[in-house]
Amino acid sequence: MITLIDYGVGNINAFVNVYKRVDVPVKIARTKADLIGAEKLILPGVGHFDHAMNQLNRSGMRETLDELVLEEDVPVIGICVGMQMMANSSEEGQLEGLKWIDAKVKKFDERKIDQVTRLPHMGWNDVKPAKDILLFEGLENNAIFYFLHTYYFECNRAEEILATTTYGDEFASAAHYKNRYGIQFHPEKSHHYGEILLNNFSRI
């Protein structure tokens, strides 16, 4: 069973659709009570960092999520801004992050991107796994994923980088620490590549 955290930010329906196709049961959590007994958590997110943090902090679920992730070691995956929220802080906003992974979120250096549209980083790009783990099992070597973001995740400990992608510079398009995973791209919008990845998460 996968629990999708619905705090009013992010495309919950897209995840429901993917898991329906691969026949994995999902539950949508909108309150603290909905989180009881969660086995695996997905934290989606789009838009502005502070808006997303505010919404989560006001959802009534924040404290329980910290308990589940930090004390009970429930596997959690943050997607896009959901990944960025797992960091300590973001250059996009003033609020503190969840501090689930030791990282900061920075804006891409536009000077290193040689094209008219520099930001956002939007479209399909390569994801190079840095480690051989279950999350990437069954993915082709040339798997590509859909990205849409202006800020990127920078791990303070290099060994927590799970995959890299190049846009101007190379950045961590996936990260992993203990029971916590973050991915910058959108698996729910990345065809069979994303379906494989989300299905793998359900088996972690």
Partner 1 sequence: MLRPRIIPSLLIQDNGLVKTVNFKNPKYVGDPINAVKIFNEKAVDELAIFDIDATVKRQEPNYSLIERIANQSRMPLCYGGGVKTVEQAQRIFSLGIEKIALSSAVIHNPSLVTQIAERVGAQSVIVVLDVKKKLFGGYEVYTHNGKKSTGLNPFKFIEEAQELGAGEIVINSIDQDGIMKGYDMSLIDKARNSTSLPMTVLGGAGSLDDIQAVIKRHKIMGVAAGSLFVFKGVYKAVLINYPSKEEKEKLY
* Amino acid code (one letter) for 38: A
Query: Closer to partner 1 at the Cβ: 48 or 106?
Result: 48
Of the pair 123, 138, the CB lying nearest partner 1 is at 123
Return the ∠ at Cα 104 (arms to 5 and 100), rounded to 5°: 40
Task: Tell me, yes or no, if 188 is annotated catalytic.
Answer: yes
* Catalytic option among 63, 137, 186, 192: 186
Task: Centre a 10 Å sphere on the Cβ of residue 116 and count the other Cβ atoms it contains.
Answer: 5
* Nearest approach, Cβ of residue 8 and partner 1 (Å): 10
Burial 118-150 (b: 16+ CB within 10 A, else e): beebeeebebebbeeeebbeebeeebbbbbebe
Query: Residues 80, 92, 121, 176: which is the catalytic one?
Result: 80
Nearer to partner 1 by Cβ, of 27 and 118: the residue is 118
Please indicate whether residue 186 is annotated as part of the active site: yes
Cβ neighbours for 47, distance < 8 A, ≥ 6 positions apart: 9, 81
Name the minimum Å distance from CB 53 to partner 1.
14
The one-letter code for the residue type at 106 is K
Residues that bind partner 1 (CB under 8 A): 11, 13-14, 17-18, 21, 46-48, 115-118, 120-126, 142, 144, 146-148, 166-167, 186, 188-192, 194-195
Percent helix / strand / coil, the chain, rounded to 5: 30, 30, 40
* 106 vs 189 by CB, closer to partner 1: 189
Spot the catalytic one: 121, 155, 176, 188: 188
Instruction: Supply the minimum distance, in Å, between the C-beta of residue 123 and partner 1.
Output: 5
Beta strands at 161-167 and 169-177: parallel, antiparallel or unpaired: antiparallel
Catalytic residues, by residue number, are 80, 186, 188
